[in-house]
Amino acid sequence: MDLKSKVVMITGAGGPMGKAIAKRFYEEDAKLVLTDISENRLLQTIDMLTDENGSNKNIFYLRSDVLNKKEIKEVVNKAIGIYKKIDILVNIVGGIRAKKMDQPILEMENERWDQTMDLNLKGGINCIKLIAPQMIESESGKIINISSINFAGEPGYADYGAAKAAVASFTKTAAMELGPYINVNCIAPAVIQTSVLDRMDKETLDYYRDRTLLKRLGKPEDVANTALFLASNQSDYITGEIIAVSGGVSPHL
């Protein structure tokens, strides 16, 4: 890949997917800007990237809440102060904050709706508004959002599915508005082997595995490899797309 001189900002870099994506870009000698709301998780990612000599060059990290405009602005300003630019933005923050993963619509409180929409959509928008102007000025940039195949609908996940459909729609509009210099795409994973597995029973996991054509759950590395492709010049003619990383669930949707 061609990422040696590229600066990549990754939000939610302390989560399992964030970790795998940070690792994959680091292996390609990209310069990293990493942020997460959890200082502890962020430090675990830094630890993973640090070699046995204690070296982790070309990594800038700072804790922030992507929903807090002041905090994320500080990350972006400091990163641009160091690297002079951000070439690639990977918006990973998202998910379901509620304790109970699945909840029927008739029992779903408005508070959960608001929380899920904010977490999945607004943090990414905050980052794009701060970083895209500089990408336009330098006439190049790649933005990768994370949706989910749940955007097509999934019983028990009305809030999450709607939020991820919003991410997919936002991706398309952003590609239209920010072209021709910025490519904006999103990845729509199926169930990936992350901490969500701890929140599902065996029967549910068997169902999700069996409905893939490849008969396995996804790995964070499957998403990381796709993010790398979308960030590289190998995907220069791809924008406004929703790329499923689903082991073949998507043909059924």
Residues that bind ligand NAD (CB under 6 A): 11-12, 14-18, 36-38, 41, 65-67, 92-95, 123, 146, 148, 189, 191-192, 194-196
Task: Give the nearer residue to ligand NAD in terms of CB position, either 136 or 146.
Answer: 146
Task: Give the nearer residue to ligand NAD in terms of CB position, either 84 or 97.
Answer: 97
Q: What Rg do the C-alpha atoms of the chain give, in angstroms?
A: 17
- Phi/psi at 245 (nearest 5 deg)? -120, 85
Annotated catalytic residue, options 61, 83, 157, 160: 160
In the complex, what is the shortest distance from the CB of residue 171 to ligand NAD, in angstroms, rounded to a whole number?
Answer: 13
- Phi/psi at 133 (nearest 5 deg)? -55, -40
Task: Give the nearer residue to ligand NAD in terms of CB position, either 166 or 196.
Answer: 196
As to burial, measured by CB atoms within 10 angstroms (0-12 exposed, 13-18 middle, 19+ buried), residue 109 is exposed
In the complex, what is the shortest distance from the CB of residue 210 to ligand NAD, in angstroms, rounded to a whole number?
Answer: 16
Q: For residue 239, what are the CA distances in angstroms to 93, 144, 186, 224, 225?
A: 21, 10, 9, 18, 17
Task: Give the nearer residue to ligand NAD in terms of CB position, either 102 or 136.
Answer: 102
Encoding tokens for residue 141? 């940039």
Task: Give the nearer residue to ligand NAD in terms of CB position, either 43 or 80.
Answer: 43
Q: How many residues does the chain have?
A: 253
In the complex, what is the shortest distance from the CB of residue 55 to ligand NAD, in angstroms, rounded to a whole number?
Answer: 24
In the complex, what is the shortest distance from the CB of residue 143 to ligand NAD, in angstroms, rounded to a whole number?
Answer: 14
Q: Is 160 a catalytic residue?
A: yes
Encoding tokens for residue 129? 């508004």
Q: For residue 171, what are the CA distances in angstroms to 51, 64, 75, 175?
A: 36, 23, 23, 6
Could you report how far apart the first and last alpha carbons of the chain are, in Å? 32
In the complex, what is the shortest distance from the CB of residue 118 to ligand NAD, in angstroms, rounded to a whole number?
Answer: 8
Number of helices and strands in the chain (H, E) = 8, 7
Active site residues: 160
